[in-house]
C-alpha cells in the first residue's frame, strides 16, 4: 500500500504536470534490461551529448522513474532464508536444474520443501525451472542495478547537486547494501544453489553471475562522485567501499568466486566485469587494470576463433543468445579497461586466432536467430552493434543499416546516449518537443536546450505512471 503522502504527491504531480502537447510525443521506449554495460563517467559528466540524443535521454529518465517505483530492494524481502539461517544472505536457485524424483520411494506427493532436499537435481541446459522465481533476489538485483545506472544518468542531465534521482540512489544503496537490518552480507555462498540431497546446502560458482550488474552500479556511483553529488556523502562512500572490499575478498578467495572467474565462457567474462568494476569502486585503479589485462591475456584468448565464432557459446542450447551475452561481457571488459587505462588498446587486442570483438560481432550478425528457434532473442544484438559501431566506426554504414532495419527506434534506446558517435536520431524531434520546429541556435546552446526540454517532457511521465499505479492500487 502506498503511504498517504506519496499518494497525495502522485495526484498533485499528475494534475500539475500533464500537458497534452507533451504527452503525445511517444518516443520513449519501454524499459529493456541489457545484460551488462559500463558507461564512462567522464563522458557523462562532460555533458557534451550529441544533439541527436534527446530521445535516448528521455528513455533514460523514463526508465529511471519506472524502475524506481519497484524499489527499494533487499535480500530480506524474500519469503525464505538461506541455509545459513541468516536472512541477510543472498540466495538464488540454479535456473536450469530440475528435480528427478523417480528414484525416491515416497508414497505420497512430496511438498516443495521435501523435494528440495530429497530428490536429486539434474541439469537441463537452457530450460528454466519456473520455481527459481520463488526467491527473487536475482530479479531484485537486476532492477537495483538498472535503477542505479539510469537514476545516475538522469541525475547527471540536471545541473543540480541533488535531485530526486540521486536521492533514489542513496535510498536503494542503503537498503540493499548498507542498512544494518536489510543490507546484504558480502558473499554469494547461496547463489544458484542446485538443491538435492548431496548439494543442497551451498551455492554454485555459476551463481556469481547473478551480480554481474554490479558494473552498472559502479558506473552510477562514479557519476555521482564525479558530479560531486551532495547526497552521495563521504560517509556513504566509505561504507560502500568497505562493503565492496569484503566482497572483493570473497570473490578472490572463496572457491565459488575463483572457479567462476576461471570459467572459459561467458561466466568467466562476466566475473571479470564484476571484479574490474569493483576495483574502480574501491579506487584501486591499478587493480582494475590488472583484472582487465588478465581477461584479455587469459580466457579471452580462446573465446573467439578465426571465423569470429565463439566456440564456448555456439554449442549451447541458445547459441544466438549466448553469443550476444558473451559479446556484451567482452564489450564491458573492453570499456572498463579502456577507462581504467586510457593507454590500453583492448578493442584491437586479438585472440590466439587473430580475431577481435568486432570479428565476433560481425560473425554474429550473419547468424539467423530463427535457425535455432531464437527469434525472440534478436534484440540482444542491438546494443552490441551500437557499441561496436561507436567504437570501431561504421565507414560502410553496415551497422546503422542493420539497426535501422531491425530496430528502427534505436536512437531512442538508452544505449544511444553513450554509443556515440552513431548515426541516427533527429534534432528536429528534439525541438518539436517544445511545440516549435526548426529553431536554429548555436550548437552548444542547442545541446543544453534539448536536455532541458527533455526534462519538461519526461517529468510528465512519473505523474502519469504514478496516477496509473494509484488507480491500480486503489481500484478506481
Ligand atoms: C512422489 O513425489 C513426487 C514429487 O512430489 C511426485 O511427483 C510423485 O507422484 C510422488 N509419488 C507418489 C507415489 O506419490
Ligand atoms: C523489476 O522490474 C520489472 C519491470 O521492468 C517488474 O516487472 C518486476 O516486477 C520488477 N521486479 C522486482 C523484484 O522489482
Ligand atoms: C550549473 O550550475 C552552476 C552553479 O549553480 C553554474 O555556475 C553553472 O553555470 C551551471 N551550468 C550550466 C551549464 O547551466
Ligand atoms: C569456430 O567455432 C565454431 C563454433 O564452435 C565452429 O563451428 C567452427 O568450426 C570454428 N572454426 C574454426 C576455424 O575453428
Ligand atoms: C524470424 O522469424 C520471424 C517470424 O517468422 C520473422 O518475422 C523474422 O523476420 C525472422 N527473423 C530473421 C532475422 O530472419
Ligand atoms: C586500433 O588501433 C589503431 C592503430 O593504433 C587505432 O587507430 C584505432 O583507434 C584502434 N581501434 C580502436 C577501436 O581502438
Ligand atoms: C519553448 O520555446 C519557447 C520559444 O522558443 C520559449 O519561450 C519557452 O521558454 C520554451 N519552453 C521551455 C519549457 O523551454
Ligand atoms: C546538431 O549538431 C550537429 C553536429 O554537432 C550540428 O552540425 C547541427 O547544427 C546541430 N543542430 C542543431 C539544430 O543545433
Pocket test for ligand 3, best of 48, 159, 160 (most atoms within 8 A of CB): 159
Q: Which ligand is nearest to the CA of 112?
A: 1
- Among the atoms of ligand 7, which is closest to the Cα of residue 449? 14
Under 8 Å between Cβ of 270 and 215? no
Q: Is the CB of 426 under 6 A from ligand 8?
A: no
Under 8 Å between Cβ of 426 and 52? yes
Query: Rounded to whole angstroms, how far apart are CA atoms 360 and 328?
Result: 11
- Among the atoms of ligand 8, which is closest to the Cα of residue 50? 2
- Among the atoms of ligand 7, which is closest to the Cα of residue 436? 2
| Predicted pLDDT of residue 199 | 65
Residue 121 has φ and ψ, to the nearest 5°, of -105, 140
Q: Provide the whole-model pTM.
A: 0.84
Q: Is there a domain that residue 285 lies in? A: yes
Query: Rounded to whole angstroms, how far apart are CA atoms 33 and 143?
Result: 8
Q: Is there a domain that residue 70 lies in? A: yes
Query: Rounded to whole angstroms, how far apart are CA atoms 270 and 397?
Result: 30
Q: Is there a domain that residue 319 lies in? A: yes
Highest mean pLDDT, choosing among 23-27, 264-268, 448-452? 264-268
Q: Which ligand is nearest to the CA of 433?
A: 7
Q: How many whole angstroms from 160 Cα to the centroid of ligand 3?
A: 8
Distance, CA of 286 to chain centre: 24
Q: Is there a domain that residue 475 lies in? A: no
The neighbour count for residue 460, using CB atoms within 10 Å, is 21
- DSSP for residue 361: H
Q: Is the CB of 396 under 6 A from ligand 1?
A: no
Q: Which residue owns the Cα nearest ligand 4 atom 5?
A: 311
Q: Is there a domain that residue 473 lies in? A: no
| Predicted pLDDT of residue 50 | 93
- Among the atoms of ligand 4, which is closest to the Cα of residue 315? 5
Classify the phi-psi angles of 140: left when phi > 0, otherwise alpha if psi is within -120 to 50, otherwise beta: alpha
Q: Is the CB of 314 under 6 A from ligand 4?
A: yes
Q: Which residue owns the Cα nearest ligand 8 atom 9?
A: 443
Structural domain range at position 292: 4-468
Residue 142 clears pLDDT 90, i.e. is over it: yes
Q: Which of the four pLDDT bands, split at 50, 70 and 90, describes residue 29?
A: very high
Q: Is there a domain that residue 272 lies in? A: yes
Q: What's the number of CA atoms in the CB half-sphere (13 Å) around residue 249?
A: 8
Residue 77's CATH number: 1.50.10.100
Q: Which of the four pLDDT bands, split at 50, 70 and 90, describes residue 125?
A: confident
Highest mean pLDDT, choosing among 240-254, 430-444, 454-468? 240-254
Query: Rounded to whole angstroms, how far apart are CA atoms 38 and 418?
Result: 10
Shortest CA distance to 31 belongs to which of 472, 453, 461, 456?
A: 461
**pLDDT tens string 381-410:** 999 999 999 999 999 999 999 999 999 999
Instruction: Report how far apart, in Å, the C-alpha atoms of 66 and of each of 23, 174, 462 are.
Output: 16, 20, 7
Q: Is there a domain that residue 476 lies in? A: no
Q: How many whole angstroms from 462 Cα to the centroid of ligand 3?
A: 26
Q: Which ligand is nearest to the CA of 447?
A: 8
**pLDDT tens string 269-305:** 999 999 999 999 999 999 999 999 999 999 999 999 9
Helix (H, G, I), strand (E, B) or coil at 123: strand
**pLDDT tens string 87-112:** 999 999 988 999 999 999 999 999 98
Give the pLDDT mean for 339-345. Answer: 98
Q: Is there a domain that residue 337 lies in? A: yes
Query: Rounded to whole angstroms, how far apart are CA atoms 57 and 451?
Result: 8
Write the burial class of residue 198 (CB in 10 Å: 0-12 exposed, 13-18 middle, 19+ buried): exposed
Q: Which ligand is nearest to the CA of 442?
A: 8
Highest mean pLDDT, choosing among 147-161, 192-206, 458-472? 147-161
What total of structural domains would you count in the chain? 1
**pLDDT tens string 163-214:** 999 999 999 999 999 999 999 999 999 999 988 887 667 899 999 999 999 9
Neighbouring-strand partners of residue 97: 123
Preceding peptide of 72 cis, ω within 30°: yes
Residue 81 clears pLDDT 60, i.e. is over it: yes
Residue 323 clears pLDDT 80, i.e. is over it: yes
Shortest CA distance to 302 belongs to which of 348, 350, 267?
A: 350
| Predicted pLDDT of residue 18 | 33
Q: How many whole angstroms from 109 Cα to the centroid of ligand 1?
A: 4
Write the burial class of residue 475 (CB in 10 Å: 0-12 exposed, 13-18 middle, 19+ buried): exposed
Residue located via cell numbers 566475473: 271
Pocket test for ligand 5, best of 370, 402, 406 (most atoms within 8 A of CB): 370
Chain-wide mean pLDDT for the chain? 86
Q: Which ligand is nearest to the CA of 360?
A: 4
CB crowding 416-443: b at 16 or more within 10 Å, else e? bbbbbebebbebebbbbbbeeeeeeeee
- DSSP for residue 85: S
Amino acid at each position: 500500500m502506498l503511504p498517504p503522502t506519496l499518494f497525495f504527491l502522485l495526484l498533485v504531480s499528475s494534475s500539475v504536470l500533464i500537458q497534452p502537447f507533451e504527452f503525445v510525443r511517444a518516443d520513449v521506449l519501454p524499459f529493456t534490461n541489457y545484460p551488462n554495460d559500463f558507461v564512462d563517467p567522464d563522458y557523462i559528466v562532460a555533458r557534451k551529448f550529441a544533439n541527436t540524443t534527446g530521445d535516448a535521454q528521455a528513455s533514460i529518465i523514463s526508465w529511471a522513474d519506472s524502475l524506481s517505483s519497484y524499489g527499494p530492494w533487499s535480500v530480506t524481502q524474500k519469503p525464505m532464508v538461506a541455509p545459513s539461517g541468516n536472512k541477510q544472505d543472498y540466495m538464488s536457485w540454479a535456473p536450469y536444474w530440475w528435480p528427478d524424483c523417480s528414484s525416491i520411494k515416497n508414497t505420497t506427493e512430496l511438498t516443495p520443501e521435501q523435494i528440495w532436499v530429497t530428490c536429486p537435481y539434474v541439469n537441463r541446459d537452457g530450460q528454466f525451472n519456473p520455481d527459481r522465481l520463488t526467491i527473487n533476489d536475482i530479479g531484485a538485483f537486476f532492477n537495483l542495478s538498472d535503477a542505479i545506472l539510469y537514476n545516475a544518468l538522469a541525475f547527471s542531465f540536471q545541473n543540480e547537486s541533488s535531485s530526486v534521482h540521486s536521492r533514489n540512489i542513496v535510498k536503494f544503496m542503503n537498503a540493499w547494501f548498507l542498512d544494518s537490518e536489510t543490507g546484504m552480507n558480502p558473499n554469494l555462498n547461496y547463489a544458484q544453489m542446485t538443491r538435492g540431497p548431496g548439494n543442497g546446502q551451498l551455492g554454485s560458482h555459476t551463481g556469481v553471475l547473478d551480480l554481474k550488474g554490479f558494473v552498472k552500479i559502479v558506473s552510477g556511483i562514479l557519476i555521482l562522485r564525479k558530479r560531486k553529488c551532495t547526497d552521495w556523502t563521504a560517509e556513504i562512500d566509505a561504507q560502500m567501499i568497505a562493503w565492496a572490499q569484503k566482497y572483493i575478498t570473497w570473490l578472490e578467495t572463496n572457491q565459488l568466486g575463483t572457479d567462476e572467474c576461471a570459467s572459459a565462457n561467458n561466466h568467466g567474462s562476466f566475473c571479470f566485469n564484476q571484479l574490474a568494476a569493483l576495483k574502480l569502486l574501491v579506487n584501486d585503479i591499478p587493480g582494475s587494470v590488472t583484472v582487465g589485462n588478465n581477461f584479455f591475456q587469459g580466457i579471452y584468448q580462446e573465446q573467439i576463433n578465426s571465423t569470429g565464432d565463439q566456440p564456448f557459446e555456439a554449442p549451447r542450447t541458445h547459441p544466438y543468445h549466448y553469443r550476444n551475452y558473451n559479446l556484451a561481457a567482452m564489450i564491458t571488459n573492453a570499456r572498463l579497461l579502456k577507462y581504467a587505462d586510457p593507454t590500453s588498446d583492448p578493442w584491437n587486442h586479438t585472440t590466439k586466432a587473430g580475431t577481435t570483438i568486432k570479428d565476433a560481432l560481425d560473425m554474429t550478425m550473419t547468424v539467423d536467430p530463427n535457425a535455432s528457434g531464437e527469434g525472440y532473442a534478436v534484440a540482444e544484438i542491438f546494443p552490441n552493434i551500437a557499441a561496436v559501431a561507436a567504437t570501431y566506426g561504421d565507414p560502410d554504414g553496415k551497422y546503422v543499416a542493420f539497426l535501422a532495419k531491425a530496430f528502427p527506434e534505436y536512437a531512442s534506446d538508452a544505449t544511444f546516449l553513450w554509443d556515440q558517435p552513431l548515426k541516427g536520431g533527429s534534432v528536429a524531434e528534439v525541438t518539436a518537443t517544445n511545440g516549435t520546429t526548426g529553431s536554429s541556435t548555436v550548437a552548444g546552446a542547442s545541446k543544453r536546450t534539448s536536455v532541458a526540454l527533455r526534462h519538461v517532457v519526461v517529468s510528465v511521465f512519473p505523474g502519469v505512471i504514478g496516477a496509473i499505479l494509484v488507480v491500480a492500487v486503489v481500484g478506481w
